[in-house]
Structure formats: structure tokens, C-alpha cells
Amino acid sequence: MQTAPSFNCHGTTDVGRVRQTNQDHFLIADLQKNLLIRQTSLPESESSQLNTETCAKLLVIADGMGGHAAGHRASSMTVGCMTRRVIERVSLFVGLSEESETEFERDLQAAVQSCRRILLHEGEAHPDCHGMGTTLTLACILWPRLYIVHAGDSRCYLLREGQLTQVTTDHTLAQRMVDMGALSPEEAEKSALSNVLWNAVVADDNAPLQTDIHKLILEEGDCLMLCTDGLMKHVAGKAIQEILAEAGSSEEACEKLVETANSNGGTDNTTVIVARF
């Protein structure tokens, strides 16, 4: 794995101006293969070399649904489940080759299915959580490779040389209509179908679950953004591009994006992760 450039990352979540609770969750983590030394006769300088540096970076964002408590629980459990599953496979990340990518991607898809089973069990144990669900957008960075795991309508964007590109595709009925040529992207944004998901991590055995996997090769100077739909409802792509390009840091970009979403209505929870390379 190539040595990654300096990495500046920040995340923030905000309840917005209308909702009483926040059903979004996010996580930013370094994945390391460490050894916890209980006792040794080695000199400190030599024993410290037994620990390894960060081998991968993990960014996760989830937007819960199914009632206040249930949506909050669904997104929380899914972020936790995905994180645990990735940690269990950290040894695979260290030696990941292009030849083993297929296995790696299957593991990521299996992890999402595992999250659904956990939600199903929670729904069976607690009737008020029956049918709860969440979107999921996860970025695993093994520089320079980027793997995106996606279900729902949270999004991943890439800003490169000033141009913003949406990496993920919304799993909404409005986007399906766009794909079929029945709606233009502009019409879809205003359509009520933009709020109707056909795919998400849901505590329902009969609901479909499609997991999209995207792979990109990152470059120095790139900026990556993950966000829930609370941002897109109130901040257009051009404004997002300008804020990401002009911000002096990831933290500044997150604060400005959330502030803009709230100033323009803030009708939903807004969660944003920005990573700059």
C-alpha cells in the first residue's frame, strides 16, 4: 500500500431547525493493526516498533428512519455493526491486493446483510422498532484506493480540480424515474418521490437490500464528502462545490455546509463528513 498524503478529516451532525431529535449518526476512524504488550523484556525503543501505523481509514454515515427512537437506534446499530465487521477484517486490508478485491467486496456486502439481521432481531425483540431502517454510506480508504459501500439516499461526493462529482446513486423512486427517462434531474429534486426509498438497510425480511460498491483511485488534492439528505434538500450541488473548494479546512467546510442547510430551512437532520487529501 502506498504512503498516504496528509489527511485532514472532520465530521459534524446537526438536528436542524424543525426536527426535535437527530436520527443521523457518523463515524471517522483509523484502522490499525496493533499489538497490546502486557509484559516484555525488550527495550522501549524496540517494543514500540512492534505496533504498526494506520493501514486504512474508515468513514461511515447513516440516516435512520422508522420513528424517533427507532430511527436513531437503527442508524446507531448499523454504524456500530459495520465498524465491527471492518475491524474483524483489518488483516485483509493490510495485505489487500487487486487480486483479492473480489473477496473484499463480498465481505463488505456480507457486512451490510449482517447489519440487517441485527436490525431484524432488534425489531423482533422490541415491537416499537419493527420495520425500522437506515441509509448507509461507508468509505474505506486504502490509499490510493477508495471503496464506497452504499444503500439508500445518503451520498458520497468527490471534488477534484474544482469539479464536484456524485459518486453514489440515490436509491429513491425519483432517481429510478430519472434513470427511465421519465423525469429530468431537476424535476426529480422537486418531486415527492425523492423522499421515497426503494432500498435501505431495513428490519424487514421482505424488503429488498441492494448494496452498491464503488471503487475509485484517489489523488493528492482530492476532497471527499459524505452527507445525509438533510444537506441536499437545502444546498445545491454548485453551492456544495464552492464551499468545499473555498474552505480552508475540513472542519470549516462542515460548519459552512450545515450552516447553509439550516439557513435555507433546516427541515431535516444534517450530517456531513469532509476529508481532504
Contact 64, 22 (CB under 8 A): no
Residue 99's pLDDT is 67
**H helices within the chain, ranges in order?**
44-47, 68-88, 90-94, 101-125, 173-179, 185-190, 229-232, 237-246, 250-263
pLDDT at 126 over 70: yes
Query: What class is the 8-276 domain?
Result: alpha beta
For the residues 106-110, what does the mean pLDDT come to?
A: 91
Confidence of residue 100 (pLDDT cuts 50, 70, 90): confident
For the residues 15-29, what does the mean pLDDT come to?
A: 96
pLDDT at 158 over 70: yes
Express each pLDDT in 196-218 by its tens digit. 999 999 998 888 899 999 999 99
For the residues 137-164, what does the mean pLDDT come to?
A: 96
Average pLDDT, the chain: 90
Residue 95's pLDDT is 61
- Taking alpha carbons only, the member of 164, 153, 154, 220 closest to residue 193 is 153
Q: pTM value?
A: 0.92
- Taking alpha carbons only, the member of 159, 149, 190 closest to residue 172 is 190
